[in-house]
Structure 1
């Protein structure tokens, strides 16, 4: 790379970073945590209803089900757009952190970049899904998962691709559980007031563990879909919750996971205020 091109790249990076550090961008990104919290609260509510046997017939209990619930209430479309804008800004912020975050080139620095990029994908998906439902074009997450699995199985090496995706999901889920148990999520926060510190910590622990368990089950189902060459097994969160419910004593586990999602939703509201950005 020539000196001129390198200088231009650095200047572009500085401009992007300056924009990401602006007050309006920070406020919009923090709103993304609020939007994520709303989605997690709705998922938790639907999961608890499924666990106690009061879920509506045929309703999804995953992200798409939560967004569909929002779209159906008065003013829900406006809220969906607010969630879409907020989570999109948060995703963009994480992309900036991953690309021009100023971290070292050490292994830990690169792992942090990969983590930020992965989070950006998650929030980007929420933003895209929210906008889709706001426009009336939303679709079931389970159907999308099955379609993606079928496409993967139809390609050479598709079984190994699904097994790899399942392994990654299991690893992510275990990572969330570990984060919750070790309370390492607190590194992402500034110190909340002493009166709120314990509440925020308990919500984070319960939320990360509950969400992690669900993601592990999703990973297992994806792996089973690969081993059996059956795309119907790859059903995302919705299928994971159904799988938990069908296990012996699974109703209690399912309700506990639902409470975990509720806790994560409330924790996200605190994170909007105290997250390190």
Structure 2
């Protein structure tokens, strides 16, 4: 890289960092955690309804189902736009942190950058879905998953790609469980005083562990779709919840997982206040 190009890159990086550090950007990024919290609360609520038998197994109990619930209430479109804007701002911040964050090329710095990219994908998906539902163009995530799986299976090497996606999903789920058990989420938070710290700890542990369990189940279902060449099995959280309910004692497990999503939702609200940004 020439000296002029390197200088331009540094100037661009400093400009991006100034944007990420601005007060208005911080506020909207924190709003992204609130938006994520709303979505997780609704997913937890729908999962519990399914577990106690007050919802049909065909009803969407994943992110798209949660967004449908928001869209259906008075003023829901406004709330969807708030969720979309907040999570979009958080996505942009995470991308900027991945690009200009970290001052070294160490393995840890690159690991943090990859984590930020992964988080950006998650929050970006919420932002996109929220905006789609606000515009009346939202689609079922289960249908999208099945369509993508069918296309993958039909292409050469598609089964391998599907199994790779399954492995990534399982790894993410296990990672969430580890984060919860080790309480490493505190690395991203400013510690408040007691008893708030104890409350955040309990919510974080419960939320991360049980959400991780649900994501692992999603990964297992995607793997089953790959092994059986059956795209109908490659669905999202709603199918994972149905699968949990189908096993002996699964309704109880499903309610517990739903409580975990509720805990993660409340944790996200507190994270909006105490996140290191």
Moved more, 185-194 or 262-271: 185-194
| Superposed CA offset, 1:173-223 (max 9, x none) | 001011111111111100112121111100000000110000000000000
Matched, 1:264 2:264: yes
Shift of 1:106: 1.1
Aligned residue in 2 for 1:189: 189
- Return the TM-score normalized by structure 2: 0.99
Matched, 1:210 2:214: no
Aligned residue in 1 for 2:45: 45
Shift of 1:103: 3.5
The answer to whether the 8 A contact 2:183-2:201 is kept is: yes
Moved more, 117-126 or 178-187: 178-187
Q: CA RMSD in A?
A: 0.8
The 3-state SS of whatever aligns with 2:195 is helix
The 3-state SS of whatever aligns with 1:139 is coil
Aligned residue in 2 for 1:246: 246
Matched, 1:223 2:198: no
Shift of 1:4: 1.0
1: distance between equivalents of 2:152 and 2:66? 27
- Return the TM-score normalized by structure 1: 0.99
Distance 1:78 1:69, change over 3 A: same
Aligned residue in 1 for 2:79: 79
The answer to whether the 8 A contact 2:177-2:213 is kept is: yes
The 3-state SS of whatever aligns with 1:192 is coil
Shift of 1:57: 6.6
2: distance between equivalents of 1:56 and 1:274? 38
Shift of 1:151: 1.1
1: distance between equivalents of 2:155 and 2:72? 38
Unmatched 5+ stretches in structure 2: none
The 3-state SS of whatever aligns with 1:235 is coil
Aligned residue in 1 for 2:61: 61
2: distance between equivalents of 1:192 and 1:157? 50
Unmatched 5+ stretches in structure 1: none
1:96-107 correspondence runs (5 A): 96-107=96-107
2: distance between equivalents of 1:95 and 1:49? 36
Shift of 1:54: 0.3
1:137-176 correspondence runs (5 A): 137-176=137-176
1: distance between equivalents of 2:262 and 2:90? 21
Aligned residue in 2 for 1:92: 92
2: distance between equivalents of 1:59 and 1:47? 10
1: distance between equivalents of 2:54 and 2:91? 35
